[in-house]
Amino acid sequence: MNNLNNKDKKSIGFKGEVAVLDKLKTNGFELFKKNVKSIDAEIDIVVYKYNTVKYTLDIRVIEVKTRNRYEFDLNNFNITHKWRRIRKHLFNIKAEIDSKFDILNYSEIHFDLALVRYKNDKFDLYSYIKDVNLML
């Protein structure tokens, strides 16, 4: 993606986010917000799903990385820095979602990483790493 201009990068990134969101929706997640911007960070996707076994709300904050390579080097994504910038916003996101559900007593919020591979205008979810914040 290094040879692309900013508009092309945004278009590819958007298509990667759509691929991830489509997969999450097939797994029962609902979109809460997309491309949440603040002064120092942008959150790509926020989704939630009610867990009928635990009676909790599963909230997923997802960073999407879209590349045209088959190998991904996690060290190049600077996830630790991103996590530090957005984690202060997680309480507000959680409170906003929780307020939508009067019967809910508890919710869990997670920071995940989705890796999307594209080739010939085809976008595939290559890998989905749950709770990447626990690895940092």
Residue 5 has pLDDT above 70, yes or no: no
The pLDDT tens digits of the residues spanning 10-60 come to: 788 899 999 999 999 999 999 999 998 877 778 999 999 988 887 788 899
Q: Higher pLDDT residue, 102 or 11?
A: 11
> What percentage of the chain carries pLDDT values higher than 90?
32
pLDDT, residue 16, reads 95
pTM, two decimal places: 0.83
Domain boundaries, the chain: 6-135
For residue 66, what are the contacts with CB-CB under 8 A and spacing of at least 6? 1, 12, 13, 15, 16, 17, 116, 117, 118, 123
CATH number assigned to the domain with residue range 6-135, chosen from the 4 options 3.30.300.30, 3.40.1350.10, 3.40.50.720, 3.90.76.10: 3.40.1350.10
